[in-house]
Structure 1
């Protein structure tokens, strides 16, 4: 699997319009907790169905996109944070040590 970098707010409109599942991972490049959460997620992401789009947001470089994510998907901003989007709606979000590829996969399969 491979991340698609979020670098423009227009990408969020595309995610909002997509059918199926997408994952957004919000990561702070200055935070060791965020790095650990990202590594843990990536080490287990093979459990996530291959047709799931994976998006990566560098919070430090793109704070504006992070703010737009919170507003568009009606979630409280946290870092690190993972959001599961289904048909344009956020159906699950987790942060810090609660981030789990297994839990995302279970939500998709359920």
Structure 2
């Protein structure tokens, strides 16, 4: 799992990976912390490209993703990208290792 902070970094990742997961995480929210733990668990058990951003540290990137991909910002929020497009997203208590795996395996 790798932290991403800028739009430029994220744009490069989209061009490097045909499929990737991104987690928008709040460092001050207990629900977000639980989502982060679930995302981390899934990433540790799965081969793939897994990234996260901390909303408080990367607000411009978080806003850019919401605008560019027309996905309302929530936190925690897991977004699955395939071929540069968001194909699935979940937020709050729906960010679970089981849900992430189910969607990852579909692509």
The TM-score by the shorter chain falls in which range?
0.7 to 0.9
Q: Deviations over 1:55-89 (max 9, x none)?
A: 11010111111001112222100011000001100
Match of 2:73 in 1: 77
Contact 1:23 1:82 in 2 (8 A): yes
Aligned pair 1:12/2:13, yes or no?
A: no
How many residue pairs get matched?
106
**1:21 pairs with one of 13, 19, 22:** 19
Q: Following TM superposition, by how much is the alpha carbon of 1:19 offset from its aligned partner in structure 2, in angstroms?
A: 4.3
Find the aligned partners of 1:29 and 1:62 in 2 and give their Cα distance: 11
**2:91 pairs with one of 88, 92, 95:** 95
Find the aligned partners of 1:92 and 1:102 in 2 and give their Cα distance: 14
Q: Which runs of 5+ in 2 are unaligned?
A: none
Q: Which runs of 4+ in 1 moved over 3 A?
A: 44-48
**2:43 pairs with one of 42, 45, 57:** 45
TM-score normalised according to structure 2 size: 0.87
Q: Which runs of 5+ in 1 are unaligned?
A: none
Contact 1:15 1:88 in 2 (8 A): no
TM-score normalised according to structure 1 size: 0.85
Find the aligned partners of 1:16 and 1:71 in 2 and give their Cα distance: 16
RMSD of aligned residue pairs (Cα, Å): 1.6
